Every structure is written in C-alpha cells, then in structure tokens.
Structure 1
Amino acid sequence: KKYLSAVDELWADSADKAIQEQVGARSKAEYVLVDTQAKFEKFLAELSKQKAIALDTETTGLNPVKAELVGMSFSWQAGQGYYLPFRAFLGQNTLDIDSSLRALRDVLENERVGKYGHNIKYDLLMLKAVGVELAGVSFDSMVASYLLESDRPSHSLKALGRELLGMEVTQISELIGKGKKQIGFDEVPIAQACDYAAQDADMTWRLQELLSKQLAPAGVEKLFNEVEMPLVEVLAQMEYNGIKLDEKKLGQMSQDLEKQTHDLLDEIYQQAGEEFNVDSPQQLAKVLFSKVGLKPVRKTKTGFSTDVNVLEKLRVQHPLPGLVLQYRQIAKLKNTYLDVLPKMVCAKTSRLHASFNQTITATGRLSSSGPNLQNIPARNEMGRQIRAAFVPGEADNVLLTADYSQIELRVLAHFSKDEQLCEAFARREDIHSFVAGQ
C-alpha cells in the first residue's frame, strides 16, 4: 500500500505540474498547414533532422482495412504541430499523396528515428495499406497510460490531453457530426482539420514527455519496452494479415441449423399445445407456468424467470424446457457466428480482419473485437465445426494451436520455490490432483 501510495503521489505531482505548464497550451500552440510543395520541402528538411517524432494519421473511418488516408500530422516539440492534407474538398490545396509518401519514407521507414503515437497500431496499419512500413516504433501513449493506470475510465488521446495536459480538446464529432449527418474527415474544411490533427500529434508528443518518466517509478518500464511495445507491431501484422474463412462450410452449416430450428419449433409447439414466440420470455413463462403447470423457480421485476439456470432445473420435470434450451443454443450459434462471420469478410482481401486490443481488460489480457475471435465456441461439436471453418490462407499451409500447460501453477512454483510443487512438475504428475491431495 505504501508503494502504491508513493506511485499515486508521484503520478499526481507530475500531472499537476504538467497541467500547470500546459494551461492555455492550445492558444500558445503553433499549428502549421503544409499544403503546398514549397511548404512540404521546408517541412521535410526539418523533419529529417529529428531523432524522434510524434505522428498521427487522419482517415475516412475507424476500420484500417477499409479506410483511406486523408492526411498526416507530426510534432517534435511541445506546442508545435504540422498537418499534411492528402484529400480534401475541391478548391482546397492538398499534397500529392504518392509523391509525398515517397519523400516521407526515408524518415518513416528509418528505425533510428523514434516514432511516438497514440494507438499507433492503427497508424501502422494505415501506413502499411499505402505501402509504408513504419519503423522505429518506440512509444504508444495509450499503452503507457494503460500500464500506469489500467482502470482509468478512458485511455483516449482526448481524455488524456484534457486530464493530464490541461488542454482544450476538440472531439471528432464536433467536426464530422454524428448519425445520418456525419461527414468524412476529408470533407472537413482544411483549416479546422489542421488544428484538430496537428493538436493530436502535439498532445502525443507531450504525453510521451510526461508518461515516459512515470514508467520506471511505477515498475513497468521493462514491461513496456520489452513486451507491450514489441507486441504492438505483432498485433498490427496479425490484424493486417487477417484469417481465411471457409464461407461455403459456414453457409452449409447455417442451412442445416435452419432446418434443425424449424424441427425444434415444431416439437416445442407440440409439447406446448400451441404456437407462441419462443424468443419472448413473457410468452415462454406463460406457457411453462400457466399452460404446462411447471412450478416457477425465480421471479424478476418483469415476471417469472426463464433464463438458462431456470430451464436447466425445469428440464427434469418436462421435455419443453430442454427443447427450448436446444433451440436457444442453435439460434445463438446461427445468429452470432454462422450468419454474421461471412458478412465480416473483407471484399478486398477475402479475409476476416479482427482487432486485438491491449488496453481494454484490467488484468492485462488481450481482448478481441470486430469479431471477437477469442469467443468462438469450442465446448460442443457445433462450436468445434465453426472453429474448423477458420482455415489456412494457402493450400500448403497449416494452422497450429498451442497453450501453456497449467501456467498459473508453474508460475507459482517458480516464484515460491516450493520444493514439493517443483518436484511434482519435474515428475510430470497431474498437478491439479497433486495440489488437491495436499
């Protein structure tokens, strides 16, 4: 507790100093629009002198596989930022994206020039999509914030800029709107786009200056440099590669389950003595408890519960609850995986591109989204068939799976140096039986 308190005090002191230094930072900031070749050459000359830079990409969307690059912003000094527009409304000056990226490649692909970003995995993916292999990635302020305070309400750039730097920030929704009236970033007037994008790079630079000093006192500097930052590039490559899906197999499985669903519904209606909406908890409760006469297990605010635990208890009394459980299981597999996964395959790559997130869980585990590939069922035959639809991208390739063996107990044995536990592992005993017998 004393250690944690000291870290908290150090964090608070540093944050307070940063806020004091950064109050009014936006009004003092110098953000430069680089929208002509002459300005670009002057910018490039300065960029080429830097040993480290903060960068950010502005795009047409959040999905790096589908989005297009609109512009890039850079910073290498607090209070300064540069925005390079590649796409904009007609009549506004922009740089030629191809020639500009060719000129920038000497810096972007130079591993001796440190690259700072916020969620830099996204920038890695966007630049890879336009043929640039970003090298020298050394700091991600989102990852640093997560390691320092994993339960922080938000690790977003805007939240950290406002909270830790005391900067007035513009939310993206203020520029592009929301819902049906939302526009693309390439439709935002360039002057506004410049202020927004350049500030992002400026905040990233400032956050690096602030957060990098907190890592060692918090005891996470080695973890950050040797595990988390290298992992950023690994995850970016995984997301870029994606995974091949046997859409034909899933389509056939969906048809088979559709038939099973209809057969189950017929049997459910027969057992109930009437047709009803099986997906409605209220209608199901009425049939089970009023029509069939089963005894309710638990009551909620909206009526008698028909959740999975209740149905498991009731299935020994009547066939209907068991049939409903089968129906729900099949419907979930069909609606969550079989019918959805094929629609998420990218038309350009013919692959499924999920996101792997480092800064979501409080425990340090990765999470997956769009889709959640860590939640594909495996405990029943149908789930295993769905997993089998994830196939190698090339005919002569194979997919391998690996898992640690009793990793938690092995770590415990290593750090505790418990002789009996270590000997049990050395003898290759069933470690769970061994522990239970002690």
Structure 2
Amino acid sequence: MAPKVKLTLNTEDATPLTNAVKRKKASNETLAEAWQRLASLKNNATDQRMLAEVKAAMEDGKIGREADAVAGNKRLSKAEVKRLWVQVKEIHKQEVLDDMVANMPNNYWLIQTVERLDEFLAILDDEDEAAFDVETTGTNVWQDYLVGHVLGAVKADIHAYIPVRHITEETQLDADYVKERLRPYYENPKLKKVAHNGKFDMHMLDREGILLRGLNWDTQEAMKLLNENEPRYALKKLVTKYLNIPSLTYGELFGKIGFQEVSSLIVAASYAIKDSDVTIKLKEFQLKHMKRFPEILEYYERVEVPFIETLFEMETTGYEIDLDFAERYAEDLCQKFEALRSDIFTVIGEVDLDSPAQLKATLNSCLGLKLESTDAKKALAPIANDYPVIADILAYKKQVKLYSTYFNVIPDLVDKATGKLHANFNGNGTKTGRLSSGKDEEATAKDGTVNLQNQPKPARIMYLAPKGYALVSGDWSQQEIRCLAYFTQEPVLLEAYRTGRDVYSSLAAETFNKTYEECGDGTTYRDAAKRVLLSIVYGTTKYGLSTQLKIDVSEAQILIDKVMSTMPNVVAFINENNRTVARKGYVSMDKNQRKRRLPAIKQNPSWSQRNRVYRQATNAIIQGSAAIQSKITMNALAQLCRTKRSEGKDWRIWCTIHDEAILQVPDNFTQDELIEFEDIMLNSYVFGNVPNKTDIAIMRRWGEGVTKEEWFKK
C-alpha cells in the first residue's frame, strides 16, 4: 500500500500572483468599463446620483482619479467614488456661489457706505410694506448674535443687505450706527413687515435693543394654514416647491460655518438678499390662495399674526428656576430609584431595566408571565396590582425619567446671560393648530429651550415667580367637552353646563339610569362616562378604552354603545363629520377659520385606515376649535399685559400649558385686576350658547397655588 502524502497549499506564495492578476485586470479596464461595472452594482437612489455626478465631473475635467489609485493601478471603486463625491459637491457649491454673484440682479443692493444706505432708506420712506430678515451666527436666540440686516422695499422691488459683523477685511458699516439708522423703520407700526419665521428675527432684533412693530405677514405660519401636512416649512424648500425658484439651503451652500465667517460680502449679499425677494413673492402667492377662503384669511390676519408677538413676549419673559431645590430633589430621586432598583434585583435578579428585551425575558421567566412587551401603559400597568415587583419597576422608570429628563437637565439649560430658562414655542405645533414647545418630550439643549407642554407636576415646582411677583393662572374647565356641546347641541351636555352640574356625573346618571348623587366624583359610573366622552374628543379606540378601564375589548364596545345611546346628537355629529371628510377630504374648525386636511381618505384606505381618518376628523374639529379659543384669549391677555406695562405695572404673559394660561404679575395686584384677567378668560371667545368656566389660582411656585379667596385673605 502506497504511503499517504499530505499536501499543504502555500497561499502566501499565491498572493503576489493573485494581486498581479488583479492589477493586470485593472490595467485592462477602461474608465467607461469601470463606470459600467459600478452602475451594475446594487445602488440606491443616492448611490445612483453620486455615480452620475462624479462621472459627469470627470468627463468635464473638473476632477480626476485619486493619485494613489492611479499609482497603484487600482480599479475604480465605490469607496473612491464616495471620496471624490465630496470634492464634486464642494466644486458644485462654489460654482453655485460664483453663479449667484455673477447673476445677482440689479435690484439686489450690497450696502457698505453711508451714501448707499441713505439712498436705500429714502426709497423705504415711500413704502407701506417691507420684507425683513436678519443674518446671524446661529439659531440660538439667547446666545448667537446678529451679523447683518436684510430689508426689501416691496413697491420699489429693491432688496438690500447691510453687513455689520462679518469677519472680513472688506468695508462694512458700524453695527451700532446701522442699528440706530434702521430703528425708526423696525419700530414703526405703520410700516407693515413681511417675514418668514419672524419670531426668530424679532428675538435677534430685541437682543440689539430694537422692538419690532408692524409684523403683518409671516409666510411660515401662513403656509401652515394653507397646508398643515407640508413636510418642511423652510423658506428655501417652499419657494422651490411652490414658486419653482430653485433655492439651496444654507447648509448646502456654506456647510456648518456661521454666517459671520462668510468673508466675501458680495457672496453673503447674493445669498441673504434673495430671502427678502422670495419672501415677498411667497407672500403674494399665499395671499392669492387665501383670498379664496376669506374666513381663513381673516382668522390668519386677526389671530395668527398677532399670536407671533404674544409668543415672542412669552419667550422673552422666561422662567426662574429654583436651582437649590432642583439639586436637592435630584439627589432625593437618585436615592429613591437606587433603592427601588435594589429591591427589584432582590426579586428578579440583576437585569438591565432599560432593555425591553432583557426585562421581558426576565419577567416571563421569573414570574411565569407571557408578556409580549414591557410597555408601561399597555403591558405592565394593568398587572401592577398583582405583582409588587412590577409596581416597583413602574415607579423606578417614572423616577428615572423625572431625574434624567427634568431635574438633572433643566438647571443646565438656564441661560447664563439672562439667568432664566427659555422655551421656544411653535404657534402651530400640531396639525390642528395647537401650541407646542421644544422639539420633543426631552429638554432640547441644542437651542437652549425646554418642552413646557410635557412638564410633569413634580417638575413644575422648580419654576418660581421672581421675588415680588406672583403667577396668576386660569384654566378653561372642560374646554373640549364644552366645544363638543356647542357643535352637537346635545341636551344632556347643555343642561349640565346651564345648571352648573358636573357634566360627567350628569351623563353617567342618564346613561346608567342612576341618580345624579350616585354618580359623583370617584364612582365607576362617572369614570366610565368621562372616559367614553373623552375618547370622542381624543380619538381613542375601543382597544385604548379597554386598556384604560382594564376591561375586555367587547366590554369596552358595549360601554361605548351604551353611553352613546344617550347622546344621539353626538352620534349624528360624528356621522356627519365622517361623510364630510369622505366627500371633501377635509373638515373645518369653528366658523371655517381653518381646515384639517386628511388626504389618506382619498387614497383607497383600508378599513382600519378609514376609521382612523374618521376619528381624526372629529378630533380635529374639537381640538382645532379649542386651539382657536386659546389663541384669541392669549392674544387678549398679552394686550392686557401691555396695557398694564404702559401704566407702570410689570405684567408679563408667562406661559400657556394645554388649557391653562398663566401671567407673571407684581404681587400687589388688586381684586379688580384679577377680575379683568378672569373676564378675558371667560369672554374672549365663547362657544355659542355654552358658557366658559375658569378656575383661578395664584402661585409663588408653579403647581402650588391657592384660590383667589385665600390669596386676598392673607
């Protein structure tokens, strides 16, 4: 038998040969073949655009291949193309800037001399309306600063940029000199102003000591009324889409540098001045369309535009934070959730409580459960009474969130210059027109602001009235339900509001055939009626209601049917809303002052999608109409504060949270002045024959209020 021979391949010896073959193959591949090969790969839309742009740049001789790739006789790779694309984009950016300068219209003026400024202001003297914009170092209105002024004379169609703080050796006028020359125009209420996101510009001018007056049109807010479903409201995006005026964004042209770093003033001017020009054109486009809907136009001019100034004043007031209290509370929270974590680990062992996957597996294993998720509301809360460790987990998560989102974050957001925390309010933060603040539930350190709409009650006590001041609060009692009563004229609701009885107890008594006294606060009858009624307003499904009440879905549906059987007008209202949205694709708020467009209903929706739109339709009418009431009232309160300030009393609009409005006032306010406040809350906007009701509280610390009787007794 022949001996066995073991063969070992020398792969190292083969490597040079393999590489030589690859180099030979690369050297034989033409550039055209390389592009064809890359195009045949699995490319997404961005990849395809990248390949096309780099290929075109090579063919035009703008770029060549990388030197090391050529020296190494390497095939053109996708990685190399990606690196070359960075160069191509920079070349394109410079070409765009060069083209902007070369083709800058004659009616775009870069003002660098007193004589040219005099000439422009003489033109502005003959104008009734002007566009304005400010260029800045960034978007934080409390820390960034103004770099230049953009102004547009509407009738003359002349637009100017006045640089004042660019880092450049080119000539620019003194910032203080320009400020004083422009002050009479900015502060003249008779000169109507047009802007895009004007609240930002108002803040930056305020930092310069200029109080803008006469804001007449804001193209950003107008677009939110014309199309609340718009994906982006940036000026460049809107004019590109609606006016067919190609406009690159700031980031696309200048990257991440501040505008003060744009040292070529003609480049800066060619970019900045265009904003004035297109803002006026966009306003004309919007006005043309809004005139087709006179109720919306009238509402926009009467309510939404003044509301911008209301929000500006509210943001400027700011919030004093009790930093010592916040620190003590944060330490206490840490001790509490550490103790809870220790107790939890004793029962189920050590596990990452912030990992849904780990927590679910551990709970199922240790407790014999079959949880599909660890969602706090849907999965854990319904069984917390049966499992003490789950109650501890819920308490732990609540306290960790309170610590990490609020008490450990908010003190760091206090502005060093003002000593206060500031919010950034969005007047049309939701598609129904309700207010929002911040970008999400978390404190937003990027712009130095916080989301006040989601401050939990334990966090609110950090917020103080300044020394010598008080916070006067009024909230609309059952704002949305009163709105529902107005639209439906449902007898059981109207009678409750007419007699001053509790609306939920009245509905419960009618539904369950009980006496009013048997359906008092805390009873299951009242709770069930309340949740069903609120489900109409907030668009909650039977599934959501079953979770809230901890009952089967079938039981939830029976309950809904039972409560609704006592409100035929509400049923008819909902059915009519469903027919309207199915026919028109939208519903209208009170007095047709704004619309909620729901295009999904026209896109062959599934059964569940259609029902979702139906719920949104009724919800939008109620929520949107309540938002109209809130804004009109807030504007009236802001005007009250201005009147008081003109009398030497430092009244400030402080905040609005959901259905609550709060003023910051000197603590020596009188009962008559409190009546003025209450009258505005009650009578600024009434839903027909349904009276408003407001609960008044006076506070030194937000959330710790006393009644007006208790306040004046002291």
Q: What range is the shorter-chain TM-score in?
A: 0.7 to 0.9
The corresponding residue for 2:331 is 255
The corresponding residue for 1:185 is 259
- Aligned letter for 1:336? T
The answer to whether the aligner puts 1:410 opposite 2:469 as a matched pair is no
**What is the Cα deviation at residue 81 of structure 1?**
2.1
The corresponding residue for 1:372 is 451
- Aligned letter for 1:244? E
Can you give the 5+ residue segments of structure 1 that lack an aligned partner in the other structure?
Answer: 1-25, 299-304
Q: Deviations over 1:26-59 (max 9, x none)?
A: 8757321112222222222212221110000111
What is the alpha-carbon distance in structure 2 between the residues aligned to residue 411 and residue 280 of structure 1? 42
Report SS of the residue matched to 1:101.
helix
The corresponding residue for 1:45 is 122
Q: Which residue of the other structure, out of 146, 163, 170, is the alignment partner of 1:92?
A: 170
What is the alpha-carbon distance in structure 2 between the residues aligned to residue 339 and residue 411 of structure 1? 39
Q: Which residue of the other structure, out of 368, 371, 380, is the alignment partner of 1:311?
A: 380
- Asked which structure has the greater RCO (Cα within 8 Å, sep 6+), the reply is 1
Report SS of the residue matched to 1:275.
coil
Report SS of the residue matched to 2:203.
helix
1:199-214 pair list within 5 angstroms: 199-214=274-289
The answer to whether the aligner puts 1:166 opposite 2:244 as a matched pair is yes
Q: Is the 8 A contact 2:195 2:279 kept in 1?
A: yes
Normalised TM-score (structure 1): 0.85
The corresponding residue for 2:360 is 285
Report SS of the residue matched to 1:112.
coil
The answer to whether the aligner puts 1:232 opposite 2:308 as a matched pair is yes
**What is the Cα deviation at residue 259 of structure 1?**
0.8
1:10-409 pair list within 5 angstroms: 30-77=107-154, 80-177=158-255, 182-188=256-262, 189-218=264-293, 219-272=295-348, 274-290=349-365, 292-298=366-372, 305-308=373-376, 309-369=378-438, 370-378=449-457, 383=458, 386-393=459-466, 395-409=467-481
Cα 1:312–1:427, aligned 2, differ >3 Å: closer, same or farther?
A: closer
The corresponding residue for 1:427 is 499
What is the alpha-carbon distance in structure 2 between the residues aligned to residue 418 and residue 311 of structure 1? 38
- Aligned letter for 2:391? G
What is the alpha-carbon distance in structure 2 between the residues aligned to residue 339 and residue 225 of structure 1? 41
Report SS of the residue matched to 2:160.
strand
- Aligned letter for 1:406? Q
Cα 1:414–1:287, aligned 2, differ >3 Å: closer, same or farther?
A: closer
Q: Is the 8 A contact 1:269 1:276 kept in 2?
A: yes
What is the alpha-carbon distance in structure 2 between the residues aligned to residue 252 and residue 50 of structure 1? 57
What is the alpha-carbon distance in structure 1 between the residues aligned to residue 167 and residue 123 of structure 2? 28
Normalised TM-score (structure 2): 0.53
What is the alpha-carbon distance in structure 1 between the residues aligned to residue 351 and residue 505 of structure 2? 49
Cα 1:326–1:91, aligned 2, differ >3 Å: closer, same or farther?
A: same
What is the alpha-carbon distance in structure 1 between the residues aligned to residue 104 and residue 289 of structure 2? 27
**What is the Cα deviation at residue 67 of structure 1?**
1.2
**What is the Cα deviation at residue 327 of structure 1?**
1.0
Q: Is the 8 A contact 1:58 1:70 kept in 2?
A: yes
What is the alpha-carbon distance in structure 1 between the residues aligned to residue 258 and residue 451 of structure 2? 27
What is the alpha-carbon distance in structure 1 between the residues aligned to residue 347 and residue 486 of structure 2? 57
What is the alpha-carbon distance in structure 2 between the residues aligned to residue 317 and residue 416 of structure 1? 42
- Aligned letter for 2:412? K
What RMSD over aligned residues (CA atoms) do the two structures have, in Å?
A: 2.0
What is the alpha-carbon distance in structure 2 between the residues aligned to residue 194 and residue 388 of structure 1? 48
**What is the Cα deviation at residue 170 of structure 1?**
2.2
Q: Is the 8 A contact 2:123 2:153 kept in 1?
A: no
**What is the Cα deviation at residue 167 of structure 1?**
0.8
- Aligned letter for 1:160? L
Please say which structure displays the higher CA radius of gyration.
Answer: 2
Report SS of the residue matched to 2:206.
helix
Task: Return 242-251 or 76-85, whichever deviates more.
Answer: 76-85
Q: Is the 8 A contact 2:429 2:437 kept in 1?
A: no
Cα 1:322–1:208, aligned 2, differ >3 Å: closer, same or farther?
A: same
What is the alpha-carbon distance in structure 2 between the residues aligned to residue 346 and residue 92 of structure 1? 34
Report SS of the residue matched to 1:138.
strand
- Aligned letter for 1:70? V
Q: Is the 8 A contact 1:118 1:204 kept in 2?
A: yes
Report SS of the residue matched to 2:472.
coil
What is the alpha-carbon distance in structure 1 between the residues aligned to residue 379 and residue 478 of structure 2? 33
Q: Deviations over 1:146-203 (max 9, x none)?
A: 11111122222111111121112121102331xxxx2111001322211111011111
- Aligned letter for 1:200? D
The corresponding residue for 2:663 is none
Q: Is the 8 A contact 1:294 1:314 kept in 2?
A: no
Q: Is the 8 A contact 1:76 1:205 kept in 2?
A: no
Q: Is the 8 A contact 1:141 1:207 kept in 2?
A: yes
What is the alpha-carbon distance in structure 2 between the residues aligned to residue 192 and residue 337 of structure 1? 43
Report SS of the residue matched to 1:83.
strand
Cα 1:38–1:350, aligned 2, differ >3 Å: closer, same or farther?
A: same
Report SS of the residue matched to 1:139.
strand
Can you give the 5+ residue segments of structure 2 that lack an aligned partner in the other structure?
Answer: 1-102, 439-448, 511-565, 567-714
Counting matched residue pairs gives 394
**What is the Cα deviation at residue 261 of structure 1?**
1.7
**What is the Cα deviation at residue 411 of structure 1?**
3.2
What is the alpha-carbon distance in structure 1 between the residues aligned to residue 107 and residue 247 of structure 2? 15
Report SS of the residue matched to 1:193.
helix
Task: Return 421-430 or 203-212, whichever deviates more.
Answer: 421-430
Q: Is the 8 A contact 1:358 1:366 kept in 2?
A: yes
Cα 1:338–1:411, aligned 2, differ >3 Å: closer, same or farther?
A: same
**What is the Cα deviation at residue 215 of structure 1?**
2.1
**What is the Cα deviation at residue 415 of structure 1?**
5.0
Paired-residue identity, %: 34
Q: Deviations over 1:336-392 (max 9, x none)?
A: 0001110111001111111110233101101111311010113xxxx2xx2111111
Q: Deviations over 1:233-267 (max 9, x none)?
A: 01001111111111111111000011112211211
- Aligned letter for 1:306? T
